[in-house]
């Protein structure tokens, strides 16, 4: 039996078993062509899929796929099935049904080692409304929702490999472990194990680099990781850095302040001010910035306010942050330092990402933009650990309980209790 608090694939024999596998192959999609543009999550899901199929399982896969518009225009999973077939070099069947009569009939006809990908689970409202809190269901109630009620009786075992969705309390993630023996897949267990070590026992000093445009992510975790000592220092960049400057009483200028206001980010200023008051120099903010006036131009913070957008951190900030990162023994990065997709706004992200890649400390990166930037600047392979998760990673590292981990832990207690 695995020594972890959840069961793993090592705890089960799959021969001639119907295994319901939940993966997270939610991938960036080109808004024009609707084609998948990054297959990272699909590649990372392959070891579990291969192991289950090789082990003789009849494999039923469940997954979701969003869109740039979040929860609208959800894409079907047909192209994911074709990509899986190609990458595994064996057929992966697909059916445009999730848990209706056609899907159930197809599951019943599966033979040893065969694989079937059902359609996007989020075509069912219950799968989204529950985690978005419009409908609050307990895990037991989720086990009675349409998908779980219809598919669970056909399965012998549930495996979850969707660490990137571990923060979503949804039926396909939390409902199945209530009614079937349940284990974490290889990717799930790898992410959980590595990130748990980073969270619970980081080598010191531990430095968090928080930037990007999703300020709520950064502020959701900053207070927590500073209070419990997970982070020794927090280096702020991107919009998070601007909010810090504003909170420190520095006028940014009409245009940057309107930009933050229009995005509803002004309320974070008060939160930032109280964090600065409480944690002082453990929070570091930019000393210079970049603007685009027909090309990149750097200005010291003392030159604020400006009447133009602030697009990046400046070279003095980069050098200061790089020297802190060089001394760090653990580094966690979430969110780019500026508008890294543009020539004028890329220097901060490119330089910091390279500094992190070269620093001797253990580096963890996650989240769509953060990983995409690392790929763009050619340093993704030099990071110590690249998580497939974004939101789940942030919630996990800030010490929040993730519903899917809790569901798998309960499933282990039930299973070991029953088999003891």
By the criterion CB under 6 A, which residues form the site for ligand 3PG? 24, 26, 66, 164-165, 168, 390-391
168 or 412: CB nearest ligand 3PG: 168
18 or 370: CB nearest ligand 3PG: 370
44 or 168: CB nearest ligand 3PG: 168
Q: C-beta of 162: minimal distance to ligand 3PG in Å?
A: 7
Q: C-beta of 396: minimal distance to ligand 3PG in Å?
A: 12
User: With helix as H, strand as E and coil as C, how does the chain read?
Assistant: CCCCCCCEHHHCCCCCCEEEEECCCCCCECCCCCCECCCHHHHHHHHHHHHHHHCCCEEEEECCCCECCECCCCCCCHHHHHHHHHHHCCCCEECCCCCCHHHHHHHHCCCCCCEEECCCHHHCHHHHHCCCCCCCCCHHHHCCCHHHHHHHHHCCEEEECCHHHCCCCCHHHHHHHHHCCEEECHHHHHHHHHHHHHHHCCCCCEEEEECCCCHHHHHHHHHHHHHCCCCCEEEECHHHHHHHHHHCCCCCCHHHHHHHHHCCCCHHHHHHHHHHHHHHHHEECCCEEEEECCCEEEEEHHHCCCCCCEEEECHHHHHHHHHHHHHCCEEEEECCCCCCCCCCCCHHHHHHHHHHHHCCCEEEECCHHHHHHHHHCCCHHHCCEECCCCHHHHHHHCCCCCHHHHHHHHHHHHHHHHHC
* Measured distance CA(209)–CA(133) in Å, rounded: 30
163 or 285: CB nearest ligand 3PG: 163
212 or 391: CB nearest ligand 3PG: 391
Q: C-beta of 131: minimal distance to ligand 3PG in Å?
A: 7
24 or 161: CB nearest ligand 3PG: 24
Which residues have CB under 8 Å from 277's CB, separation 6+?
Answer: none
Q: C-beta of 285: minimal distance to ligand 3PG in Å?
A: 27
Q: Which residue is closest to ligand 3PG by CB?
A: 26
Residue that is written with structure tokens 């297959």 in the block: 39
Q: C-beta of 212: minimal distance to ligand 3PG in Å?
A: 14
Residue that is written with structure tokens 């200005």 in the block: 299
8 or 26: CB nearest ligand 3PG: 26
11 or 24: CB nearest ligand 3PG: 24
Q: C-beta of 165: minimal distance to ligand 3PG in Å?
A: 4
Which residues have CB under 8 Å from 223's CB, separation 6+?
Answer: 271, 275
Q: C-beta of 255: minimal distance to ligand 3PG in Å?
A: 31
* Residue 173 · residue 142 · CB < 8 Å: no
Q: C-beta of 368: minimal distance to ligand 3PG in Å?
A: 7
162 or 324: CB nearest ligand 3PG: 162
Q: C-beta of 390: minimal distance to ligand 3PG in Å?
A: 4
Q: C-beta of 176: minimal distance to ligand 3PG in Å?
A: 17
Question: Nearest Cα to 242, choosing from 275, 291, 285?
Answer: 285
28 or 223: CB nearest ligand 3PG: 28
């Amino acid at each position: 039996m695995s020594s972890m608090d959840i069961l793993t694939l090592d705890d089960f024999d799959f021969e001639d078993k119907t295994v319901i596998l939940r993966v997270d192959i939610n991938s960036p999609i080109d808004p024009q062509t609707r084609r998948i543009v990054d297959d990272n999550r699909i590649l990372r899901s392959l070891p579990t899929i291969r192991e289950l199929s090789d082990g003789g399982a009849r494999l039923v896969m469940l997954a979701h796929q969003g869109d740039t518009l979040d929860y609208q225009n959800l894409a079907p999973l047909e192209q994911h099935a074709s990509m899986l077939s190609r990458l595994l070099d064996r057929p992966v069947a697909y059916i445009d049904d999730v848990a209706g009569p056609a899907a159930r009939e197809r599951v019943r006809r599966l033979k040893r080692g065969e694989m079937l990908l059902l359609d996007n689970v989020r075509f069912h409202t219950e799968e989204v409304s529950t985690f978005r809190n419009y409908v609050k269901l307990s895990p037991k109630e989720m086990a009675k929702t349409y998908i779980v009620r219809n598919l669970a009786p056909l399965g012998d075992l549930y495996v979850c490999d969707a660490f990137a969705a571990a923060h979503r309390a949804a039926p396909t993630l939390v409902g199945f472990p209530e009614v079937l023996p349940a284990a974490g897949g290889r990717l799930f267990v790898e992410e959980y194990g590595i990130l748990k070590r980073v969270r619970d026992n980081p080598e010191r000093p531990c430095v968090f680099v928080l930037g990007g445009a999703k300020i709520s992510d950064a502020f959701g975790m900053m207070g927590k990781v500073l209070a419990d000592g997970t982070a020794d220092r927090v280096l702020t960049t991107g919009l998070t850095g601007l909010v810090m400057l504003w909170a420190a009483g520095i006028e940014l200028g009409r245009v940057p302040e309107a930009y933050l206001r229009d995005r509803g980010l002004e309320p974070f200023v008060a939160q930032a001010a109280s964090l600065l008051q409480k944690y002082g120099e453990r929070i570091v903010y930019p000393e210079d910035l970049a603007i685009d006036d027909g090309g990149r131009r750097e200005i010291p913070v003392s030159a604020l306010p400006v009447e133009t957008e602030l697009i990046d951190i400046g070279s003095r900030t980069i050098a200061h942050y790089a020297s802190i990162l060089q001394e760090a023994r653990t580094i966690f990065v979430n969110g780019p330092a500026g508008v890294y997709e543009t020539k004028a706004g890329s220097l901060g992200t490119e330089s910091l990402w390279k500094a992190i890649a070269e620093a001797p400390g253990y580096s963890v990166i996650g989240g769509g933009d953060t990983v995409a930037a690392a790929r763009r600047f050619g340093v993704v392979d030099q990071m110590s650990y690249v998580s497939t998760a974004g939101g789940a990673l942030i919630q996990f590292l800030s010490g929040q309980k993730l519903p899917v981990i809790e569901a798998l832990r309960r499933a282990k207690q039930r299973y070991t209790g029953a088999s003891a």
